[in-house]
Chain A
Amino acid sequence: MDKLKFIAAFLLAKLSGPVLKMTGHKGTNFPGKLALRICPDFLRYIRKPRRIIAVTGTNGKTTVSNLLCDILEKNGEKVLSNRYGSNINSGIATVLLSGCNIFGCQKYRLAVLEVDERSTPRIFPHVKPEVLVITNLFRDSIMRNAHPAYIADILTREIPSTTRLILNADDLIACSVAPANARTYFGIAHLESDVTECINLINDMRICPKCHGELRYEYRRYHHIGKAVCDRCGFHSPRYDYFAEDVDFRNMTMRLRDSEKVAEYPLLSDSIFNVYNMVTVIAVLREMGYTHEKIFAAMKKSAIVASRHNEEQVGDVTLVMQMAKEKNALACSRAFDYVSSRSGEKELMLMMNCLGDAKHWSENVSWLYDCDFEFLNKPDIRCIVATGPRAMDYRLRLLLAGVPEEKIICVRDEMEAAESLPFVGGDQVYLFYGTDSFTYAQQVREKLVTLAKEAAK
């Protein structure tokens, strides 16, 4: 009966693909959703590529998956990936379906699948990756993901025992996942900018996982990312198998060291997050047997898609679209830290509101109090325009962060709020937006472009 259901699901879902294409619905999960609706065990029966590399974690999984696919394809591999689809079970069903011919035979030998960490209970029982990369585990949505130890527990329960893990050694929460599985570690060696004490509100790895004594960080990058030791029981962060050293943001280079070689690589981005993403990709490819030369050659022709940070010169200002996921204190803290550390005068507009929540309920603002708005209390930040349904919440949070009242402008309507920016020549003008406000932010950007051009006249 199950097999019959699967065949019906397969054929109907497969046929829905061309229909969707003809009607201009590219990249939707509809085929997978349909297949799972007809046959809940669809992922069990669908033919899979022989090798599956899965990428999960709180941040960086899209960047890592895309970069990995790019480099593999540049090296002649035919890769099945969900880069244009979603990373939940219906997205995985859709992509596996797309890799099969009408007779149900899988055309691909290799898949790189980005997997939502919270969705693993619906995916991993049937889709068993040979390799699973965990980029990091941080706090995400309070409502969905609770806290990172909860996500680590889910992963530990769900990861197949045969899966080899590639883990961020600088993230002890990620390292705690599935302790019985074979594993490889990557990381970034000590950087000049590292500290030892945590300056962030979120600091989720304060106690030793073995004896629960206080951890001491030999170096710390941000939040719980760094190298820790427990002076009580001797526990320490794992040793790197692959790590970046001599990371040089001025010359945009780094060296990658592993047990066999040291190789120089160009940096694809000036953010430390993306250095982690690069090191992750290199570690996976080295584990797959690729030489540094082959990785280097493909990587230097690759780019990290700048969907989360786009700059353009408009009139006399630099207009920057900066993604800062709503309801995600950590993502916003990282974005605030990155922007505030850049030199030059800045004008900011905050519109990371969850418009969906505002429409039906009211956004849970607890995350604002986990988020480091304190980074925005800087002399070179000329003004901060708080806007959207939670504009007044941003205002109070900014005041508590020490931002002078005269720097804060609070206008609920986003389009009207754009007019409050002074557009002083030479300034960087940042629009912080989230995934939920992404589409609306593009409209606000248009308005900012018009206003910036007018201001330059």
Chain B
Amino acid sequence: MRIEILFPEVANLYGDLMNMDYLRRCLGSVEVIRTSLHSEPAFVSEQVDLIYMGSVTEEGQRLAVEALMPYRDKLVDLIEEGQIFLITGNALEIFGKHISRDDGTELPCLGLFPTVAKHTMMKRYNALYLGKFENSMDIVGFKSQFGHSFGEAEPLFTTFRGCGLNPETPGEGLRRRNFFATYLTGPLLVLNPPFTKYLLRLMGVSEPTLCFEDAAMDLYRDRVREFGDPGTGIEYH
């Protein structure tokens, strides 16, 4: 089993990298490839079971687009072939058309999805999230971002409480075949054991067991209940 983490030197914010540490510990035997901005990604010439990229600085978004642009066609092919991707936090935005900021600047992105991200740099959106994956599995998480994405695309989750890809849409994240991208930050896989098991099965693990599964499941159930309680505020202010 091989996992490729893209650009951990810049895409390492908000505890996101713990997702891959957790997956590694759930898998036991796994090769983790950490691809830096100046090296050719492993997915270009080798088979990997999962490609991951986590939350990133704004400058990091620019550098990541620059680093991935030469492999844009390969990324398109991989997505269509069913390659598994997990993209968390604002790393999602670099796969859209562009990112526009309220200072008037615009960052052209990979354009793999018809979405546009809009940032307001002095106003951060912070919220809890409760949604469903494939209309059956509860998903809990946290959002902390400078803006939202707009445009028609298949979502990853259906929002039950909180904000989707933007405040006007119930769909959260982006999905195409096995390309999974979500604005949720932090330890998504630690917080959502059923989704982690789904991912592991997709990666070929027939009967996945999770690291500290009981403790993780206890917390997951508590959090689903807490976030589903109408008395729990969703957007921090």
| Residues in chain A within 8 A of chain B (CB atoms) | 121, 142-144, 146-147, 149-150, 153, 201, 203, 206-207, 212-214, 329, 357, 360-362, 364-370, 392-393, 395-396, 399-400
Whether B37 lies near A207 (C-beta < 8 A) is: yes
Q: Which residue of A lies closest to B56 (CB)?
A: A147
What's the Cα separation between A422 and B223 when bound, in Å?
A: 31
A396 partner residues in chain B, CB cutoff 8 A: 190, 212, 215-216, 219
Interface contact tally, CB-CB below 8 A: 100
> Which residue of A146, A207, A370, A400 contacts B22 across the interface (Cβ within 8 Å)?
A400
Residues of A contacting B: mostly: helix
Other contacts beyond A212-B37, A366-B186: 10, CB < 8 A: A142-B185, A143-B236, A150-B121, A207-B9, A360-B233, A366-B185, A393-B219, A396-B219, A400-B211, A400-B212
- Is B222 touching A392 in the complex (CB atoms < 8 A)? yes
Question: Is the beta-carbon distance between B58 and A150 smaller than 8 angstroms?
Answer: yes
For B212, list chain A residues within 8 Å (CB). Answer: 396, 399-400
Proximity bits, B216-237, A CB within 8 Å = 1, else 0: 1011001100110000111010
> Given A213-B38, A369-B187, A369-B190, are A144 and B124 neighbors across the interface (CB < 8 Å)?
yes
The reply to whether B13 and A361 form a contact with Cβ atoms under 8 Å apart is no
Using Cβ atoms and an 8 Å threshold, which residues of chain A touch B124? 143-144, 146
Docked CA distance A395–B13 (Å): 22
Residues of B within 8 A of A393 (CB): 219
24 pairs of residues in contact across A and B, judged by CB atoms under 8 Å: A121-B122, A142-B13, A150-B57, A150-B58, A150-B121, A212-B37, A212-B38, A212-B63, A214-B36, A329-B15, A360-B233, A362-B128, A364-B144, A364-B186, A365-B191, A366-B16, A367-B15, A368-B15, A369-B186, A392-B215, A393-B219, A395-B215, A396-B215, A400-B212
Is B198 located at the chain interface by the 8 A CB criterion? no
Interface residues of B (CB under 8 A from A): 9-10, 12-18, 21-22, 25, 36-38, 57-59, 63, 121-122, 124, 126, 128, 142, 144, 146, 185-187, 190-191, 211-212, 215-216, 218-219, 222-223, 226-227, 232-234, 236
Chain B residues with Cβ under 8 A from A365's Cβ?
142, 186-187, 191
Interface centre among A201, A364, A367, A393 (most CB of B within 10 A): A364
Q: How far is the CA of A214 from the CA of B236 in the complex (A)?
A: 37
Who on chain A is nearest to B236 by CB?
A361
Q: B36: which A residues are within 8 A, CB to CB?
A: 214
B-side contacts of A150, CB under 8 Å: 57-58, 121
10 closest A-B pairs by beta carbon, nearest first, are A366-B186, A369-B15, A369-B18, A206-B9, A361-B233, A143-B126, A366-B15, A364-B142, A369-B187, A370-B15
